[in-house]
Structure 1
Amino acid sequence: MRSSTNPSRTASGVRLGDSLTGGPARKLAALAACVLLASGCAKAGTAGTTAADGGSKGPIKVGLVYSKTGPLAAYGKQYLEGFKAGLSYATKGTGAVDGHKIEFEEQDDAGDPAKAVSAAKDLIGKGYKVLAGSTASGVALQVGPIAAQNKVLFISGPAAADKATGLNKYTFRSGRQSYQDIKTAASFIGDAKGKKVTVLAQDNAFGQANVAAVKALLGAEGATVDQVLAPPSATDLTPFATQAKTAKPDLLFVAWAGDTASALWTALNQQDVFADTKVVTGLDLAASYPLFGPAAEKISFLNHYFDGAAGTPVEKAMTDAVTAAGGKTDIFTPDGFTAAQMIVHAVESNHGSADDTSALVKALEGWSFDGVKGKTTVRAEDHALLQPMFQVRLTGSGAAAKPSVEKTLTADEAAPPVTPMAG
């Protein structure tokens, strides 16, 4: 997401708490213990303190743990390009804060939480006090606790799992979360009381998390919520499209990840589901637009971001920088840009030092700033990132499909409820 529909992902894509979050708790505890031991061996001065060589200012070292390869590599690329652009923007082109250069080391998790945990352990052991990245929700939910145990600032990126909000005092996010997706989807039907809503998704943690989110939001507002869940391995999706049509919902919310998305939309179109039901899903990266096929203009899309969606000066600065570097902005470019803004602000507030991570946390809590999408706020109570969201339409099909904003939901309109801080 995570946008809700992700035709480019494999079945293990950016999930809202999917199979990537698995792993025995005792293994995670053991890994965390190892990190604690490793971090104790870090050399002083590696996280931005004054070096011993005549008082010169040492660098601020940031570890980026993200999907450089693997099924989410396209998202990782966008995130990295956005981060570089955001770092330049926030430091006014200097790449430094109070004379301290910000250096970042890239670690590839390939979307695998075990690799991410290993990378985080390695970086913390080297003395890194700031980690960012997490293209996948499962990665964010396992790196977050390690960051807290080691008192390291952690800013997750495109990972949309609601559980990352309020996870602990050291964990923040630079993207949206699934509740904001669902809130945007709900805006298409207005008053939910008495409405029937069906969630069409894969029967895995990603799909189940979407079902839970829809029930938590629309169910609480008086809607009846049911689900049609398909095995992630299913390739014949006509039976599931038929079930969705038979349910006759007022709103069909589609949460799909993987390379069967094109077949799903073909099946829904062939079953004429759009004739009697408003169908809502998330608009993913630009490369996915052709996969909606003839159904594209019949779908109501919720959207985190697409190139040109916001029309803000910050968006223009991001677009200009990414374009100049040979890239193109897409759905998760702002997540990297925002992460860089947050890191620079936290370090600036502490006079160029990243040593006191409690102070970095304090600097971010309650901070409002001009982001790519408009006014953005880090909510102090649970570190939710309050931001605008979009209702979008696609016009045309295939390579000619183009998105346009129909409505912008304000940060307050899309805000999730406050989550008690877990740790």
Structure 2
Amino acid sequence: MKKEVLVEKAYEIAKERYAAVGVDVDKILAKIQEVSISLHCWQTDDVVGFENLGNMGGGGIQATGNYPGRARNIDEVRADIEQVLKYVGGSHRFNIHAIYGDFGGKAVDRDQILPEHFASWMDWAKEKNLKLDFNSSSFGHPKSGDLTLANPDNSIREFWIEHTKRSRAISEAMGKFQNDPCIMNLWVHDGSKDITVNRYKYRQILEKSLDDIFSTEYKNMKDCIESKLFGIALESYTVGSHDFYMGYGVKNQKMVTLDTGHFHLSESVADKISSLLLYTPEIMLHVSRPVRWDSDHVAILNDETIDLAKEIVRADALKRVHIGLDFFDASINRIGAYVIGIRATQKAFLQALLEPLNILREYESKGQYFERLALLEESKGLPWNAVWDYFCLKNNVAVGEDFIPLVQQYEKDVTSKR
């Protein structure tokens, strides 16, 4: 029997099983189709970018591994992303760091970048039916050091302020071009390797830098600000901590970015969703997988990602939470890494949408906690994967493990020859 027939039969059975607990699977399929994920450009090339500035690494960024086939130029990045999109259903976005501009081989420093350096990205994204998001890039530059926007040195701080202002202007141009707001993420690695006695001072400086950067208001872009627990060689103190950005975001009504790798491993990022939604307009997610630290492993369908998705759905916040990926694994096939991470994130949100939430809420409101726990446990075994397979089938993408040989073939034909 053909796999397509088996998938359709399993789906019909799944519909009946879910209907018994009050879940309309057809409606859920329509919802998961609209869950858009912002694919990050830096998994293609290990966060190298296309500058010609003689840059150095650092700033809490480290891609480990030397798997062959890294994208070396813009054309290869685009070809790889186009290939990835063949294996995932739905309509998605593409997230670019400032160091990935189309500079034509010229040395354009970061305080000189312009929308024209990203015009070809806009044209390509329009052709591929993608919406663009953007990021300023504070790392891997001769002026990065330990402090950028929080640097007491006026010349260095003003350089990064100008870079970030230009990044916002580029985001505005992208949003206007695509007739959809471009979300620009601001993350700086600023911190200290060892004990600092000037914590308050550096946070004062960062606050003033942000106030200056955000003094210009735009209509076609949205700002988000991202915290971190620590960076490599900056382990003892991070200026832009979660507390700092949460306070700044609430005070100034800015979107706060929650990166699942930027917290202590014992913290629940999912638990932060409901609190932030009360006080900030929207949330940006960077879905990753930390292994003992912010190691940016490929996202998988683990408890943390499922819990994150469930909290968003339970808060009816899919329209207020933006989903992006942020991992860069150079130890495995990079195309495969994308596909695994995207599909895992989609699966987490599908599971969340399929939760029998109405009955669970009713149990909770009546204090029926045994019944609530029992249904939560039993719902884990409901045939969500039959719904997932059907979603893939209807989107004309590989069902189950069928994408593995397709990724292998692309490696054989394309990436292995780089």
Q: Return the TM-score normalized by structure 2.
A: 0.27
- Give the TM-score of the pair, scaled to structure 1: 0.27
Structure with greater proportional strand content: 1
